[in-house]
Amino acid sequence: MAGNDRVSLNDALSNVEVLDELPLPDEQPCIEAQPCSVVYQANFDTNFEDRNGFVTGIAKYIEEATVHSSLNELLDEGQEHAVMLYTWRCCSRAIPQPKSNEQPNRVEIYEKTVEVLAPEVNKLLNFMYFQRKAIERFS
């Protein structure tokens, strides 16, 4: 171009737009990925099972995760005992009672009651052991 030849702005823009349609001789494939969203849902309810995922040089974090895990297990066991206590309270009210201490078959009533309720009494015994374990854990 000579110094006096001027190109208008419209001509310059149209020349640039034509470049978009210009085929390139390198024949390289287009490797641009398709646009898509990535959905990630984290599950934090792991009960601290991945204790070994912590750096082994920082033992304090592994110990914390172990304690958290054991406390969660203690909570789960306590929940089971709470349900059992509620059931026990409801069932224990239906147990036949002797009318008086002089009733002739009162010993038999007591023996049959213990025989029938033995599995439930074992649950109460297990609850007592759980209570001791929980007290020791927090003491």
pTM for this model (two decimals): 0.46
Cα three-residue angle 117-77-59, rounded to 5 degrees: 155
Q: What angle do CA 76, 80, 85 make, to 5 degrees?
A: 140
> What residues contact residue 127 under an 8 Å CB cut-off, 6+ apart?
81, 84, 85
Q: Each residue's pLDDT tens digit in the chain (139 positions)?
A: 555 678 888 988 888 888 877 776 676 667 777 778 888 787 777 666 666 665 555 666 777 777 888 888 899 999 888 888 877 777 767 777 888 888 888 888 888 888 888 888 888 889 999 999 999 988 8
Across the chain, mean pLDDT equals 79
